[in-house]
Every structure is written in C-alpha cells, then in structure tokens.
Amino acid sequence: MSDILQKIVATKHEEVAAAKKRVPLATIRQDAESRVLTRDFEGALRAKIAKGQAAVIAEVKKASPSKGVLRAGFEPADIAQSYAEGDGQVSAACLSVLTDRQYFQGSVDYLKQARASCQLPVLRKDFLVDEWQVYESRAMGADAILLIAACLDDAQMAGFEAIARALDMAVLVEVHDAAELERALRLRTPLVGVNNRNLKTFEVGLQTTLTLQKDVPAGRLLITESGVSTRADVQLLRAAGVQAFLVGEAFMRAEEPGLALAELFA
C-alpha cells in the first residue's frame, strides 16, 4: 500500500469511529435494510455493450489530492443530468460519485443529488474499510459500492461483498496488478475494475489493463479506470476488447460533461 493510500485509510478508520458514535451500526443497518428498489448497475453496463456502445461509468468528482479542484462551479445534479443525456445518441451507463471529504472534497449529499436528478445507477466511490460504510452506502441511496483490493484483506472483501449483495447492491472490485486481480476473482462479483495508476510511481498507463485483460475470465466484466483521456485511448482499448470504462477527470473541466463524454466515445 502506498503512503498516500495508507494515510487515506488511516483517516477513514478515524472517520468511521466518529460516525459510529453518532449513528450506531444497528441503526445504520436498519436504515439500509429499509431501502428498496436499487437500480441495476451491472445490467446498465451490459445493456450498453449489447447495443455495441461503450459502457461508461461517468464520474462526478469535484477535486483530487494531486490536481486540486477540477470544477469550480460544481453542481452534481446538473453534471449527472448532462451525463445521462449525452448528445442524444451516446451517454453514460452509470454514475460514480466521490463521497470522500478530506482528500477529494466529496460529499454524501453529492451522491444523493446526482442520483435524484436522473435514472442512472450510482456507484459510491470512496475508501471502504468497515462494514458500517457498506450499510451507509445503501442508506444514502447507492446502487453499487467500490472495494479497493489494496486497502482490504480477503476476509474484509468477502464480508463487505456479502453485505452489499444482501442489500441488492452491485460490487466493483478495483485492482492494480496481477496479485490483486487473483484475489478479486475469488469473489462472486462479475465487476472487476483495473486501475491504470501505479501505486508506487503514480504514473498512469493503459498497459495495465491490456496486460491483465487476458486473466479476466469470460463472464466477468473488466472495467478500465484512470488514464482514458483521448479518442485514441478509447479506440486502442475497444480494439483490444475492453468495453467498459470509468472516466471522470477528462469530463470535469468541460462546460457540458455529457457532450464531452459523447465526443470521447463516439
């Protein structure tokens, strides 16, 4: 685990400890279990692919630790609507909303606002380190959660996945290398995200996805993350058989994120 990831995980444990004092596990679990009618996250991705289109999880992301604020006029509802509409022909399959406050200037409210403004399924993108957060994710309205293999051991991943499935949420497991992919494939979830960012050097290269792709079994859906910013990137990956993408920063500075998405994936 990189130094920055260790720092973020340590912060998350502190945040969860404080949150549990405000809202006990039994309470947040009851809230989560009372929620109904999740949106079909995996189904939305596969529906786009069935039409011959790229399945894009479009990110609603205000800032990053390395680049600071990405979009000054940040209105999650407007961004979500723009992604859902695209150019009328090409649009997002799902949303990913950053909820981490300290490092990404995210918010639970951003997820709620984005989801309420359109019909797209929504992934909560955060650093989940405790089962409390899995229940919290459903309580806030998330249709899917992200599990980062670099942050979790096998027992945690399996436990969090089981809770999510019981709550009818999809699970996207993020990996950075072959060892993490091997661990992810022990889970039941068909959604595997390959993060193209090297955790040691922080360099981004699409080769990570292309290298690991051969080890992803048929029936699993590989989603490439980070580093997709040009049509050439998209064409390279799609020609190799990659059909699902999680993209955010490439759209956040555009006046109309949905039109930028449509142009990239046309």
Catalytic residue positions, numbered: 59, 61, 125, 174, 195, 225-226
Give me Rg for the CA atoms of the chain.
17
CA 151, CA 9: separation in Å to the nearest integer?
A: 7
| CA-to-CA separations, 133 to 49, 105, 106, 123, 171, in angstroms, rounded | 31, 18, 15, 13, 13
For tokens 């109904």, what's the residue? 36
Cα–Cα dist 129/132, whole Å:
9
The residue whose two tokens read 């994710």 is 137
Closest CA to 142 of 161, 160, 120, 158: 120
Backbone angles phi, psi at 6, to 5 degrees: -60, -40
Contact (CB, 8 A) for 246 and 54: no
Per-residue CA distances from 37 to 33, 104, 188, 191, 244 (Å): 11, 29, 21, 20, 24
Cα atoms in the Cβ-side hemisphere of radius 13 Å centred on 4: 11
